[in-house]
Amino acid sequence: MAILLALVSAVSYGSSDFLAGLASRRYAAEPATVLILAMEFLGSALAVVIDPGHGPSTRALAWGAVSGIGAGTGTMFLYRGFAAGAMTVVATISAVLAAVLPVIVGLTLGNHLSAGEAVGIIIALPAIGLVSWQPHAEDTAGARSAAIFGALAGCGFALLFIGLDRAGTRAGMWPLPASQAVGFCLVVAFAARKLARAGRPELRDLSYVVSSGIIAVAGALFFLLATGHGELSIVAVVTALYPAFTVLLARIVLSERWSRLQVMGLLVAAASVALVSLT
């Protein structure tokens, strides 16, 4: 069950990032991020109504807030990298770090892995990189900048995953609005100047923003549910395969061609999921 929920989370995050990438290229990255996080907060409030659990606890809200720091900073740096036109570099580095750091934390906290799960996690990391990477897609200067944005985004998303895992599921979906509220406030504080200068988004851009926000909430919701059924080390790695679904959408919607490396990455990712699912 944990693997299935993590896969649904990966599909949601990958779809959200694809839509956010479209929005941030047509509309300023920071304002787009603020609007997306606002939609995520509204969606998380609805999730609490659906599943309030045992009610809010100090622990759940505190860890939800910690995850919000990661969500806000990670999302902002990711979209800034996307807006710079270095989508593949940013997605690769951020996704790998978002997988590696929770694994380290999970093992430190006592997560136990079978041999098959360990192999699946190990091969998932290069799979994430292969799926995301397109050789010569960016110029050298852009790649350097993207590497920085990607590393910062990856650390943020790792904190998001770790915080939601530590929040637990006894409080239902209460960690989500705490997370989204903190993330929203952080991004608004950093983006205030650009928000003042930004014009109104066009209707098509607004549809991307609304869809991205709602789908991102689904990603966080299913990730939180997955951590209630499995260990952080496994759930975080499976969820971090989300770039595969961004690539699939780019292929289907934008008719982007896959490189041989991406095809190889998709196959390795499938093998990784099979290994952690069957052991």
Task: Provide the residue ranges of all domains of the chain, joining segments of one domain with +.
Answer: 2-278
Instruction: Say how far apart CA 94 and CA 117 lie, in whole Å.
Output: 22
Q: What value does the mean pLDDT take over residues 87-109?
A: 82
Identify whether the C-beta of residue 47 lies closer than 8 Å to the C-beta of residue 105: no
Instruction: Please give the C-alpha separations between residue 90 and each of 21, 137, 140, 152, 206, in angstroms, as whole numbers.
Output: 11, 12, 14, 9, 23
Helix (H) or strand (E) holding 27: none
Q: How confident is the model at residue 11 (pLDDT cuts 50, 70, 90)?
A: very high
Instruction: Say how far apart CA 269 and CA 264 lie, in whole Å.
Output: 9
In this predicted structure, the answer to whether residue 253 has a pLDDT above a threshold of 90 is: no
Average pLDDT score over the chain:
81
Identify whether the C-beta of residue 36 lies closer than 8 Å to the C-beta of residue 23: yes
pLDDT at 83: 66
CA angle 73, 78, 81 (to 5 degrees): 125
Look up residue 203 and give its two tokens. Answer: 């209707």
Residue 222 or 263, more confident: 222
pLDDT at 252: 82
Instruction: Say how far apart CA 65 and CA 164 lie, in whole Å.
Output: 9
pLDDT at 117: 79
Look up residue 242 and give its two tokens. Answer: 């989300």
Query: Is this prediction's pTM over 0.85?
Result: no
In the block, residue with structure tokens 């944990």? 2
Q: What value does the mean pLDDT take over residues 192-221?
A: 74
In this predicted structure, the answer to whether residue 216 has a pLDDT above a threshold of 80 is: yes
Instruction: Say how far apart CA 122 and CA 116 lie, in whole Å.
Output: 10
Q: What value does the mean pLDDT take over residues 174-186?
A: 91
